[in-house]
Structures are given as structure tokens and as C-alpha cells.
């Protein structure tokens, strides 16, 4: 994580978030709420903020880890871009957590999806999405890393929720075996969640068969 002295101060960013929430009549901002920081009319950073602090801090820690890992493997940047986390701000009044990150110029995934009108271009788009996800799935975490966000903590998943929606795990898990034991002993998946998980798994298998590409090779060792 790196700080950027050219950005506004923490207090100025908090004030901008309060104004953003007020203008849009947002009560408690959810974890995806955000707005750009502009300088001379151009976006230079993106602020993501929420009134539900735990989830966003864990997300920022994982984002910073993924950013660092990708930049150690430059070939991976062909498939995916992750913004650099510049700053994490904690506010007591209002009770917000704000993550200031690099602004990545270009089209969003939604914009790319909506502009593809032919089946061939749609297939190409979903192939690019699959390559990006495959790049992330090929990351090798450090030994003995517990399930969850970078640095440890709870995480959300379908198996903890109801009606096909992910919810936060009830506790931290020390290892993959600890998580597996918990699921085996205490969780009975509802019919809705079983259907949702089956649907997700089926989509993954279809995309894997159609678009699989080997992950980019690691860079050669430096002399």
C-alpha cells in the first residue's frame, strides 16, 4: 500500500463521502458504494466506502495482496488489472471505512458485456473473464495460510447464507481442514443454496471446457 500526497486529505475525502451519500439519499452505504476523486476534471483515484466496516477492510487487504502478487508476475497483467490501494481511512463520525485506490481507466465489465451484441463477441468476452478468474485461481498462497482474506479474518460464502445469498462466516478458521470439519458438522445446505451452488459449479465447468488457457508462465529468474 502506498500513500499519495497529491490526493486530498483524509478529512476532505470523508467530507466528500458524506456529501456523496447525502446527494444520493444513501442511509448506510453498502460495501460497493464509491465515487471518483477528480483533479482538473479528470479522475485520479476511486474511493470505496461503507458503513459496514469489517468487510471492506478485509476486501482492501486482499486487494493489496493481489495487486502486489500480480505485479510480481507481469505476464499476468495481460489478463487482469487490480487497482493499487493507496489509503484506508477510518471515520468515527460518520462511522465509515473508506478505501482510496488507484483509478483504472477503461470500460467496466458491465459496459463490456452490454456492448457485445453478437454471439462470437459475447463468447470472446466471457473467455476474457474466464482467463482473468483463472489467473487469480492459479495464485499459490503462502504455506499454512488459513481460509479467508489476506492477513486472516472472516469471509462470506453461499454455504453460510440462505436463499442463495452469501453471508459472513460465523468465525475465523485456522485451516482448510478446520473449515471442512465445521461444514461437515454444522451446516445443512438449504435446497435453495444447493441449487445455487450447483448452478455456479455447472457454469464454471462449461466455461473451463470452452475457454481454458494455460496460466502465463512465471518470469525468468533475474541473473
pLDDT average, residue stretch 93-117: 90
pLDDT of residue 15: 96
87 versus 170: which is more confidently predicted?
87
Do 195 and 147 belong together in one domain? yes
In a domain, residue 110? The reply is no
Rg (CA), the chain: 20
- Enter the pTM of the model: 0.72
CA-closest candidate to residue 65, choices 152, 131, 132:
152
How confident is the model over 169-185, as pLDDT tens digits? 888 998 888 988 888 88
Do 76 and 151 belong together in one domain? no
pLDDT average, residue stretch 184-190: 67
pLDDT average, residue stretch 192-200: 57
In a domain, residue 144? The reply is yes
165-171 long-range contacts (CB < 8 A, ≥24 apart) are 168/54, 168/55
Of 3-12, 31-40, 133-142, 158-167, the range with the lowest mean pLDDT is 158-167
CA-closest candidate to residue 9, choices 100, 94, 142:
100
Do 31 and 83 belong together in one domain? yes
101 versus 113: which is more confidently predicted?
101
pLDDT of residue 38: 92
Name the 3-class secondary structure at 12: helix
Number of structural domains found in the chain: 2
Residues 6+ apart with CB under 8 A from 60: 85, 88, 99
The residue segments making up the domain with residue 156 are 140-211
pLDDT of residue 2: 46
Rounded distance, CA 63 to CA 148, Å? Answer: 13
In a domain, residue 36? The reply is yes
Q: Write the CATH number for 32.
A: 3.30.200
Three-state secondary structure string covering 107-151: CCHHHHHHHCCCHHHHHHHHHHHHHHHHHHHCCCCCCCCCCCCCC
pLDDT of residue 26: 87
In a domain, residue 201? The reply is yes
Q: Report the chain's terminal Cα–Cα distance, integer Å.
A: 28
CA-closest candidate to residue 76, choices 84, 85, 65, 66:
66
State the chain's mean pLDDT as an integer: 81
Give the residue from 102, 126, 150 where a domain finishes: 102
Give the residue from 50, 77, 102 where a domain finishes: 102
Of 17-21, 30-34, 86-90, the range with the lowest mean pLDDT is 30-34
Rounded distance, CA 99 to CA 17, Å? Answer: 11
Amino acid at each position: 500500500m502506498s500513500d499519495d500526497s497529491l490526493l486530498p486529505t483524509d478529512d476532505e475525502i470523508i467530507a466528500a463521502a458524506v456529501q456523496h451519500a447525502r446527494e444520493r439519499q444513501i442511509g448506510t452505504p453498502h460495501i460497493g458504494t464509491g465515487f471518483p476523486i477528480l483533479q482538473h476534471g479528470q479522475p485520479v483515484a476511486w474511493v470505496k466506502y461503507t458503513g459496514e466496516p469489517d468487510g471492506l477492510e478485509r476486501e482492501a487487504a486482499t486487494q493489496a495482496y493481489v495487486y502486489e502478487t500480480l505485479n510480481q508476475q507481469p505476464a499476468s497483467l495481460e489478463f487482469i488489472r487490480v487497482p493499487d490501494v493507496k489509503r484506508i481511512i477510518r471515520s468515527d463520525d460518520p462511522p465509515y471505512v473508506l478505501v482510496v485506490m488507484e483509478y483504472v481507466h477503461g470500460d467496466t465489465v458491465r459496459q463490456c458485456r452490454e456492448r457485445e451484441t453478437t454471439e462470437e463477441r459475447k463468447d470472446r468476452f466471457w473467455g476474457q473473464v474466464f482467463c482473468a478468474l483463472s489467473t487469480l485461481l492459479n495464485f499459490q498462497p503462502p504455506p499454512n495460510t488459513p481460509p479467508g482474506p489476506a492477513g486472516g479474518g472472516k469471509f462470506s460464502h453461499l454455504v453460510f447464507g440462505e436463499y442463495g445469498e452469501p453471508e459472513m462466516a460465523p468465525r475465523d478458521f485456522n485451516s482448510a481442514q478446520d473449515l471442512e470439519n465445521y461444514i461437515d458438522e454444522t451446516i445443512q445446505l438449504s435446497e435453495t443454496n444447493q441449487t445455487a451452488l450447483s448452478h455456479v459449479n455447472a457454469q464454471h465447468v462449461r466455461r473451463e471446457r470452452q475457454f481454458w488457457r494455460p496460466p502465463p508462465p512465471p518470469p525468468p529468474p533475474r541473473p
